Amino acid sequence: MEITKKVLKVTVNGRPYELLVKPKTTLLQLLRNELGLTGAKQSCMDNSCGACTVIIDNMAVKACSVLAMQVNGKQITTVEGLAKDGVLTPLQDAFLRHSAFQCGFCTPGKLMSATAMLQETPNPTEEEIRRDMEGNLCRCTGYKQYIEAIMEVAQKKEVSK
């Protein structure tokens, strides 16, 4: 029995795509295997670690938990879509300056979750950051540095208002 592919229209990092996709293909598989965007990491495949986090229409979502066809017509941003013309976002820059990574495997997912959080809550408290980021696990225990980096970016936004 042949599996029928469906047409998927999606915008990823500002670029429109029209693709033929198998019904059981996850968004993570589509990004990595079809589009070559490997920033979202394949790890747990059960929605528990956050390494595959992307932004779908301004909401942080774990790409392993979403079927590709569920994002038909939506806007997807991956870690590859954050920097513009080679210029890092303030959050990416803060992660670097605070050494908010160790092995780096979880870093793309953390950046995407933090980006979505700061869009929704521009001036979070440390408690809000810890709560919102708890779905992004780090084997290396690099939590303190990324919380400091997010706090710095949030405080600078407050000062610039």
CATH number at residue 97: 1.10.150.120
The answer to which of 120-124, 131-135, 155-159 has the lowest mean pLDDT is 155-159
Asked if residue 18 and residue 45 are part of one domain, the reply reads yes
Model-wide pTM > 0.75: yes
Asked if residue 104 and residue 41 are part of one domain, the reply reads no
Which distant-in-sequence residues (6+ apart) come within 8 Å of 41 by Cβ? 51, 52, 105, 106, 108, 109
Q: Is the residue at 67 inside a domain?
A: yes
State pLDDT tens for residues 43-91: 988 888 999 999 999 999 999 999 999 999 999 999 999 999 999 999 9
Could you give the 3-state DSSP secondary structure of residue 21? strand
Listed residues 81, 109, 140: the one ending a domain: 81
- The DSSP line for 58-115 is TEEEEGGGSBGGGGTT-EEE-GGGTSBTTBPPHHHHHHHHTT--SS-SSHHHHHHHHH
Say which CATH number the domain at 29 has.
3.10.20.30
Asked if residue 36 and residue 75 are part of one domain, the reply reads yes
Asked if residue 72 and residue 13 are part of one domain, the reply reads yes
Q: Is the residue at 1 inside a domain?
A: no
Asked if residue 47 and residue 109 are part of one domain, the reply reads no
Q: Could you give the angle at the alpha carbon of 93 between the alpha carbons of 83 and 16, nearest 5°?
A: 15
Domain extent for 72: 6-81
pLDDT for res 160 = 42
